[in-house]
Amino acid sequence: MTKTYLEHTKEIIMNMGPQHPSTHGVLRIKLWLDGETVVKSEPIIGYLHRGIEKLAEYRTYTQFMPITDRLDYVSAASNNLAWVQAVEKLMGIEVPRRADFIRVIITELMRIANHLVWLGTQANDIGAVTVLLYCFREREEILDIFEMFCGARLTLNAFRIGGLANDIPPGFKEKVKNFIERFPKYIDDYERLLSENRIWLQRTKNVGIITAEEAIDLGLSGPSLRASGVKWDIRKSNPYAVYDELEFDIPTGEVGDVYDRYKVRIEEMRQSVRIIKQALEMMPEGEIRAKVPRIIKPPPGEVYHSIEAPKGELGFYIVSDGSTMPYRVKIRAPSFVNLQALSKMIEGHLVADIVAIIGSIDIVLGEVDR
């Protein structure tokens, strides 16, 4: 009779705490580890909750707009666009075409800025520290363009209900054209540094795989969904603003691992450049604001409107009771829904992969916690 010396092994519970250099914000993950392999995980959120949905009930529709900037603070203009379009849908206002084109240009520039932050932080987490600085250098130029347009760099408050606040200043078109002519070369530089690098490939291939059925079941959206092979983009399926007149492709991946999500986002940056080029040429002259009453009082009713934000599907559900302040606002934040897939993706991987996977889902805690 042999005696077994090892009765049983226990898993250690490790806490990847709210303060950590590479969870993008205050995200806390509780891990059950067996050696270095993750057996189970549980994300704990709520460290950045500010009560934005409640704040909306005490502000008018125009006053709430600067607060939507602070939801996804990396790509602020998309949140503005979703809110403004939801209110215009509720009131039935038709926006002039020139305003729509300028909105598209600003939103696509914001998408490029968002993907630059994503690329920089993901590469920094995996170890390539120079890519972070290069991405932020390009982002500086985009933020300069925003400063020229509306005065602020990060929290733009760029749109108004019915159109825009101001028209574009002189010199704006040339500056944007100058930028998008130089930008594809920078994307080539990042690809030369990362896409074929064997260390990068080994770190990101077959890591964090999520299949197409699982993705649809969990409610993923945005580039994470497209990387699993599902061709779903709200700009093509329910077009808003002038996207139905512009030509662009939707990149998809095959396997649904971290590498595919990386490729999809890089290709999206190139497609955004294409969209901006077309919008700059097709922009007509005209007014920039429709005739909107001074005090905005939408008729009683409810509306849900969603757009393709850089992180996924961002939706606003507004219930109005006829007064100047909304009765209830519900924000469908893409990062909140995408975070649910984290538990599924981490299972069976090592601790060192967790950072790569969190980076690839592209979450911002401002949206997750609201």
Partner 1 sequence: MIKKILQKIFLIDLIKGLLVTLKYFFLGKITVQYPEEKLKLQPRFRGLLRLYKDEQGNDLCIACGQCIRACPDSLISIYSERGPDKKLRPVTWTFNLSRCMFCGLCVEACPTNAIRFSHEYELAVYDKKKLYIHKKDMYLDENTRKYFKES
Partner 2 sequence: MNIFIDYILIPIIKIFIVITFVFVAVLILIWIERRFQGFVQSRLGPNRVGPQGILQSVADALKLLTKEDVVPHQVDKFIFNLSPVIAFVTALVVFAFIPFGTEFAIFGKKISLYLADLNVGLLFIIGFNSIGVFGIILGGWAAKSKYPLLGSLRSASQMISYEVALIMSLVSVLFFTHSLSLVEIVKAQQEMKVWFGFIQPVALFIFFVAGVAESNRLPFDLPEAESELVGGFHTEYSGMKFAFYFVAEFAHVLFFSALVTILFFGGWLRPFPNVNWLSFLDYIPPVFWFLGKLAFFVFLFMWMRATWPRYRYDQLEMISWKWLIPLALANIFITGFIVILVK
Q: Which residues of the chain form contacts with partner 1 (CB under 8 A)?
A: 59, 62-67, 130, 134, 137, 140, 144, 147-152, 155, 157, 165-166, 169, 189, 192-194, 196-199
In whole angstroms, what is the distance from residue 356 CA to residue 343 CA? Answer: 14
Asked if residue 304 lies in contact with residue 279, where contact means CB atoms within 8 angstroms, the answer is no
Kind of pairing between the strands at 301-309 and 163-164: unpaired
Q: Does 67 contact partner 2 by CB under 8 A?
A: no
Least distance between partner 1 and beta carbon 312 (Å): 26
Kind of pairing between the strands at 163-164 and 312-320: unpaired
- Among candidates 72, 66, 76, 63, which has minimal Cα distance to 106? 76
- Among candidates 200, 160, 176, 143, which has minimal Cα distance to 61? 160
Least distance between partner 1 and beta carbon 155 (Å): 7
Q: Does 39 contact partner 2 by CB under 8 A?
A: no
Task: Report how far apart, in Å, the C-alpha atoms of 365 and of each of 123, 205, 368 are.
Answer: 19, 26, 5
Q: Give the Cβ contact number of residue 197 at 10 Å.
A: 14
Query: Binding partner of residue 353 among partner 1, partner 2, none, CB under 5 to 8 Å per kind?
Result: partner 2
In the chain the first and final C-alpha atoms are separated, in Å, by 61
Cα three-residue angle 273-314-18, rounded to 5 degrees: 100
Query: Binding partner of residue 170 among partner 1, partner 2, none, CB under 5 to 8 Å per kind?
Result: none
Least distance between partner 1 and beta carbon 203 (Å): 14
Query: Binding partner of residue 150 among partner 1, partner 2, none, CB under 5 to 8 Å per kind?
Result: partner 1
**194 or 346: whose CB is closer to partner 1?**
194
Query: Binding partner of residue 343 among partner 1, partner 2, none, CB under 5 to 8 Å per kind?
Result: none
- Window 205-244: residues binding partner 2 (CB under 8 A): none
**40 or 328: whose CB is closer to partner 2?**
40
Q: Which residues bind partner 2 (CB under 8 A)?
A: 12, 14, 20-22, 36, 123-130, 133-134, 137, 193-194, 197, 199-200, 202-203, 350-353, 355
